Amino acid sequence: MRRNEDPGYAEWADQQDVEDIKVQDATIGSEITVPCELCGTPTRMLGTKRCDGCWEIERRINHQPELARKILTARGEEQELQNQQAEQLISEETQC
Ligand SMILES: [Zn+2]
CA of 27 to the centre of ligand 1 (A): 19
pLDDT digits (tens, 9 = 90+) for 45-77: 999 999 999 999 999 999 999 999 999 999 888
In a domain, residue 77? The reply is yes
| Cα distance between residue 42 and residue 55, in whole Å | 13
Number of structural domains found in the chain: 1
In angstroms, what is the span from residue 87 Cα to ligand 1's centroid? 33
**Residue 6 falls inside a structural domain:** no
pLDDT at residue 88 is higher than 80 = yes
Q: Ligand 1 center to residue 84 CA distance, Å?
A: 31
Q: What is the CA(74)–ligand 1 centre distance, in A?
A: 23
DSSP string, the chain: --GGG-HHHHHHHHHHHHHHHHHHHHHTS----EE-TTT--EES-TTT---HHHHHHHHHHHH-HHHHHHHHHHHHHHHHHHHHHHHHHHHHHHH-
Could you list the residue range(s) of the whole structural domain that residue 75 is in?
64-96
Does residue 16 register a pLDDT over 90? no
Tell me if 38 sits within 8 A of 52, measured CB to CB: no
Centroid of ligand 1 to alpha carbon of 19 (angstroms): 30
What is residue 92's predicted lDDT score, i.e. its pLDDT? 87
Residue 36 counted as domain residue? no
Instruction: Please report whether residue 7 resides in a domain.
Output: no
Distance 90 CA to ligand 1 centre (A): 36
